[in-house]
């Protein structure tokens, strides 16, 4: 019985966190409604493609079904190397059901990560559970549910910071190995901005620990600690070799490789008006841009209980580590507001890598983390120290209750909302046409009750153990209700059924069939419908496409599509592979663009790429033929017959790694029309293969794979040694 009790004591927080994740997102967890917006139009199709690639024993290197092909392996938002995606994709394949469960799993993972982090700070289990619940049901995970890469980042970030704190406190080797393993999950699944910001926070923690050692004249410990960090850094580089090589290669080829403009960096803030979401998150759902930002960026809620605890933490004595988290959180909040304060512009101008991404609102997850940890520290001290903490909590809870009550009453008498009809007909639905004041008033009715319960608890429950349990229950009810109220707006598509989407996708082509030889211009998302999916549909239809939704644009493609629209239109009016007998110097491309007089099968080649003389006029012959033999995303086999020397062009972007073979011999690949893959051929019949083989990336993949095995073995070894009583 004692052993069972020990197991339960260890597992109960995780079991309850999993149950709460399912309950709070029940419409998704029980597969009733699908997730919505970018998750359906971007993350889901990509995961679907990655799963199919893995099931056909192909590395997910190249996606030919959007924007004339893109390097899936290098796209920071694709999760192409993320182990969770590999596990689900290879074993089951991605469906609308599995992506829904994947989302709920990461909500739970976020809670588990926050629990791990708070326990790393030596805070009690019950308080850590309260912090974990507040974090995983916070406005970041509810508001940004459509941004799966953000959700993954928020899930692994607290694990990363928690592991670093444990390494710094214990100086044990196992945590350096664990840090590397977590970093691989973070970097392969998450969004680069969160990785960069987390790196800066870890630098702050490193400086704190190294300065503490030096101040205490523990010079030997400082040297050992620096060495431990160096080891962790080397391990992180090795396990993430495939990610780093892929990103570096991509940075040379993408339009945003040199960063974004200041205007773009300030786009999508957590504007000052969004601060109402700390108490009334439903108020931010009234209109997409009424707060000067997107609805997904406007929710910062983390519960009334933890909000009260955070405010209280500002008036009590805290440890230095707690203050680091609090001050970091406040700084991140100041950056998140965008141009309302100068912080975001300052770091854009002066801090490395802070000019590479948009959306100041993403900083709010670090603010939420810091404020929650401040609150957790306060509640932990309240439970183990003097009663003045309870007195402070009483004062603040009364003030919060009064503020909510007054706000609700003022709006109740000054705003028209037939709340009985609203509750009966539009509660927990995507209700449109309501003002922020109406929705704040409505949510205020519930928040008045919850804040009143907090007041009653702190005044009438004398035993601190019972008090914290009561506050946990109030926090859970408050957070789940807020999630359910906001869910139809930012989490799931209430108008759609998951079963309908699943049935539609079962009718889609399986594997990688030969592409249609019809003009590529006809392969567009327009006219296709798997409601509510409406973008990147060619991934499901298996058509080589020129359109699609992806913030990542390759330089060559974007120049052709945006700066040369007439030539672009003529180009994609050809089939996926076509024969050209006319090559025109690239220097003349503007001349033909302005006159819109280009023959559809003519090519523009740079002088160094015109490896043979061909006619200056189009002499295409009806006897010229192309037969598609075999198709995979990174290999296209063809039989070609030409009546004279010519060029064969594959309508995919010529990204580093593309090679070609003609009759079994590798030949140079040239770039035509600024972006397409072209090879010269002699007259006659030939077997041609276009092959995507990024050698450096594949080598880096094996470096990462071997390093992961060795690092995992090292972590296991040192963990077992530690449990046997040996020093770490």
Condensed to tens digits (0 to 9), the pLDDT of residues 151-173 reads 999 999 999 999 999 999 999 99
Burial annotation 281-306 (CB, 10 A radius, 16+ → b, else e): bbbbbbeeeebbbbbbbbbbbbbbbb
Mean pLDDT of the chain: 92
Q: What is the pLDDT of residue 434?
A: 83
**CA end-to-end distance (rounded Å), the chain:** 31
Residue 423 has pLDDT above 80, yes or no: no
User: Could you tell me the pLDDT band of residue 636, with boundaries at 50, 70 and 90?
Assistant: very high
**Residue 394 CA, distance from chain mean position:** 39
Contact in structure between 710 and 176 (CB atoms under 8 Å): no
Condensed to tens digits (0 to 9), the pLDDT of residues 270-317 reads 999 999 999 999 999 976 667 889 999 999 999 999 999 999 999 998
Whole-angstrom distance, CA of residue 534 vs CA of residue 515: 21
Whole-angstrom distance, CA of residue 80 vs CA of residue 466: 47
Residue 615 has pLDDT above 80, yes or no: no
Task: Quote the Cα angle for 45-47-48, to 5°.
Answer: 60
Question: Higher-confidence residue: 531 or 284?
Answer: 284
Mean pLDDT across the stretch 413-427?
Answer: 74
Residue 1 has pLDDT above 70, yes or no: no
Residue 726 has pLDDT above 60, yes or no: no
Residue 722 has pLDDT above 80, yes or no: no
> pTM of the predicted model, to two decimals?
0.94
Condensed to tens digits (0 to 9), the pLDDT of residues 304-343 reads 999 999 999 999 989 999 999 999 999 999 999 999 999 9
Sign of the CA dihedral with 641 first, then 647, 651, and 655 last:
positive
Tokens 């999916």: give the residue: 533
DSSP code per residue over 222-274? HHHHHHHHHHHHHHHHHHTHHHHHHHHHHHTTBTTTT---HHHHTSS---GGG
User: Could you tell me the pLDDT band of residue 5, with boundaries at 50, 70 and 90?
Assistant: confident
Mean pLDDT across the stretch 258-280?
Answer: 93
User: Could you tell me the pLDDT band of residue 620, with boundaries at 50, 70 and 90?
Assistant: low
DSSP code per residue over 303-323? -HHHHHHHHHHTTS---HHHH
Condensed to tens digits (0 to 9), the pLDDT of residues 179-200 reads 999 999 999 999 999 999 999 9
DSSP code per residue over 520-579? GGG--STT--BTTB-SSTHHHHT---S----S--BHHHHIIIII-HHHHHHHHTS-SEEE
Whole-angstrom distance, CA of residue 539 vs CA of residue 509: 10
Question: Higher-confidence residue: 16 or 727?
Answer: 16
Q: How many CB atoms lie within 10 A of CB 626?
A: 17
Residue 612 has pLDDT above 80, yes or no: no
Token pair recorded at residue 8: 């339960």
- The residues, ordered by sequence, that sit 6+ positions from 329 with a Cβ below 8 Å of its Cβ are 366, 367, 368, 369, 370, 371, 373, 374
Question: Helix crossing, 219-239 with 241-251: angle to 10°?
Answer: 70
Token pair recorded at residue 412: 């109740």
Q: What is the pLDDT of residue 211?
A: 96
Condensed to tens digits (0 to 9), the pLDDT of residues 100-155 reads 999 999 999 999 999 999 999 999 999 999 999 999 999 999 999 999 999 999 99
Condensed to tens digits (0 to 9), the pLDDT of residues 663-674 reads 999 998 999 999
Mean pLDDT across the stretch 233-259?
Answer: 89
Q: What is the pLDDT of residue 10?
A: 85
Whole-angstrom distance, CA of residue 15 vs CA of residue 31: 20
Q: HSE (CB half, 13 Å, CA atoms) of 533?
A: 29
């Amino acid at each position: 019985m004692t052993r069972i009790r020990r197991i339960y004591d260890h597992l109960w927080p995780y079991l309850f966190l999993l149950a709460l994740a399912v309950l709070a997102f029940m419409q998704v967890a029980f597969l009733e409604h699908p997730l919505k917006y970018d998750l359906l139009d971007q993350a889901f199709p990509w995961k679907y493609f990655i799963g199919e690639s893995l099931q056909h024993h192909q590395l997910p290197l190249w996606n030919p079904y959007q924007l004339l092909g893109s390097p899936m392996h290098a796209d920071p938002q694709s999760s192409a190397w993320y182990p969770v995606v590999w596990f689900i994709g290879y074993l089951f394949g991605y469906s609308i059901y599995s992506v829904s469960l994947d989302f709920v799993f990461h909500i739970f993972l976020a809670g588990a990560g926050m629990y791990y982090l708070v326990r790393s700070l030596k805070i009690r289990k019950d308080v850590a559970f309260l912090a974990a619940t507040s974090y995983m049901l916070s406005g970041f995970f509810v508001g940004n549910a459509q941004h799966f890469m953000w959700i993954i980042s928020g899930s692994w970030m607290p694990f990363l910071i928690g592991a670093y704190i444990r390494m710094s406190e214990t100086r044990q080797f196992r945590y350096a190995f664990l840090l590397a393993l977590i970093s691989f999950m973070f970097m392969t699944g998450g969004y680069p901005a969160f990785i960069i910001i987390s790196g800066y926070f870890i630098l702050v923690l490193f400086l704190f620990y190294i300065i503490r050692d030096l101040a205490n004249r523990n010079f030997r410990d400082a040297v050992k600690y620096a060495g431990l960090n160096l080891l962790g850094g080397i391990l992180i580089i090795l396990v993430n070799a495939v990610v780093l090589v892929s990103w570096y290669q991509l940075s040379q080829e993408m339009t945003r490789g040199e960063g974004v403009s200041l205007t773009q960096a300030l786009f999508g803030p957590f504007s000052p008006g969004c601060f109402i979401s700390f108490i009334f998150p439903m108020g931010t759902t009234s209109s997409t841009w009424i707060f000067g930002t997107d609805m997904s960026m406007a929710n910062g809620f983390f519960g009334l209980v933890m909000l009260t605890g955070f405010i209280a933490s500002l008036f009590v004595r805290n440890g230095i580590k707690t203050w680091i988290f609090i001050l970091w959180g406040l700084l991140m909040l100041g950056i998140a507001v965008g141009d309302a304060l100068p912080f975001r512009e300052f770091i854009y101008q002066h801090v490395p890598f802070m000019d590479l991404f948009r959306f100041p609102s993403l900083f709010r997850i670090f603010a939420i983390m810091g404020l929650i940890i401040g609150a957790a520290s306060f509640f932990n001290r309240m439970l183990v120290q003097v009663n003045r903490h309870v007195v402070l909590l009483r004062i603040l809870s009364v003030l919060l209750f009064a503020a909510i009550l007054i706000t609700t009453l003022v709006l109740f008498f000054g705003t028209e909302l037939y709340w009985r009809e609203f509750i009966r007909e539009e509660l927990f639905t995507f209700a449109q046409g309501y003002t922020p004041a109406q929705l704040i008033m409505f949510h205020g009715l519930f928040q008045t009750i919850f804040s009143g319960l907090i007041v009653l608890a702190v005044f009438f429950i004398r035993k601190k153990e019972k008090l914290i349990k009561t506050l946990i229950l109030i926090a859970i009810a408050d957070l789940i209700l807020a999630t359910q109220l906001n869910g139809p707006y930012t989490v799931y598509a209430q108008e759609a059924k998951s079963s309908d989407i699943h049935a539609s996708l079962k009718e889609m082509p399986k594997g990688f069939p030969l592409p249609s030889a019809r003009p590529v211009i006809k392969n567009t998302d327009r006219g296709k419908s798997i409601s509510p999916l409406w973008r990147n549909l060619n991934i499901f239809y298996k058509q080589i496409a020129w359109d699609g939704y992806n913030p990542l644009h390759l330089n060559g493609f974007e120049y052709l599509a945006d700066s040369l629209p007439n030539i672009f239109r003529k180009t994609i009016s050809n089939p996926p592979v076509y024969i050209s007998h006319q090559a025109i110097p690239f220097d003349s491309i503007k001349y033909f663009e302005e006159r819109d007089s280009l023959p559809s099968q003519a090519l523009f080649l740079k002088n160094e790429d015109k490896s043979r003389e061909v006619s200056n006029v189009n002499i295409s012959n009806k006897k010229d033929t192309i037969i598609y033999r075999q198709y995979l995303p990174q290999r296209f086999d063809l039989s070609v017959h030409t009546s004279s020397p010519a060029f064969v062009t594959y309508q995919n972007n010529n990204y580093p790694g593309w090679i070609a073979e003609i009759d079994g011999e590798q030949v140079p690949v040239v770039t035509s029309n600024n972006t397409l893959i072209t090879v010269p051929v002699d007259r006659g019949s030939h077997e041609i293969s276009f092959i995507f083989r990024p050698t450096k990336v594949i080598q880096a993949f094996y470096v990462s794979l071997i390093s992961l095995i060795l690092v995992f073995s090292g972590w296991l070894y040192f963990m077992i040694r530690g449990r046997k009583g040996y020093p770490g």
